[in-house]
């Protein structure tokens, strides 16, 4: 089980479902949510400003919607990569999307922090797959 996961999505219902599924699946002890990229950037800025060791206080995994008002996932990735990625070297991001757009998938190559592209909504099967794929070693050490 991970310590923290961050879910960024502008749809409040999908955030609620994600939080519930993460709890049911035992994916993470704590689920943090943000309704757009700006709120997520503010969260990471707070960690950098207020934590002696920002990486230890950060989520290990993040689900990021690409299409949101205020600041979309693309803008978030650009700012995060330039300003915050160095503080959070262990963070893995999965793009959460309603449709698999090949053009989006090709653009993601630019961001090595993005490890997966998954379809909405988050369900238990998806969470189990992510745990097995990216956190198998950590799970064995628990």
18-34 per-position pLDDT tens digit: 999 999 999 999 999 99
* pLDDT tops 70 at residue 137: no
Beta bridge partners of 97: 119
Tally the domains of the chain: 1
Name residues whose C-beta falls within 8 Å of residue 132's C-beta, 6 or more positions apart in sequence: none
Tell me the pLDDT tens digit for each residue of 52-90: 999 999 999 999 999 899 999 999 999 999 999 999 999
What CATH number should be reported for the domain holding residue 126? 3.40.50.2300
Q: Across residues 83-101, what is the average pLDDT?
A: 89
Q: Which of these ranges, 29-33, 37-41, 47-51, 105-109, has the smallest mean pLDDT? A: 105-109
127 exposure class (CB count in 10 Å sphere: 0-12, 13-18, 19+): buried
Paired sense of beta strands 114-119 and 92-97, if any:
parallel
Percent of the chain scoring above 70 in pLDDT: 94
Structural domain boundaries, residue 78: 2-140
Q: Which residue has the tokens 């519930």?
A: 20
């Amino acid at each position: 089980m991970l310590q923290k996961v961050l879910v960024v999505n502008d749809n409040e219902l999908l955030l609620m479902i994600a939080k519930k599924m993460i709890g049911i699946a035992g994916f993470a002890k704590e689920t943090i949510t943000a309704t757009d990229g700006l709120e997520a950037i503010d969260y990471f800025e707070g960690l950098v400003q207020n934590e002696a060791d920002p990486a230890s206080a950060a989520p290990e995994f993040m689900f990021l919607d690409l299409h949101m008002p205020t600041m979309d996932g693309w803008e978030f990735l650009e700012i995060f990569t330039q300003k915050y990625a160095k503080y959070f070297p262990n963070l893995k991001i999965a793009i959460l999307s309603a449709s698999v757009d090949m053009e989006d998938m090709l653009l993601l190559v630019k961001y090595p922090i993005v490890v997966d592209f998954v379809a909405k909504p988050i369900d238990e099967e998806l969470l189990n797959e992510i745990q097995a794929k990216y956190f198998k070693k950590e799970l064995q050490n628990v």
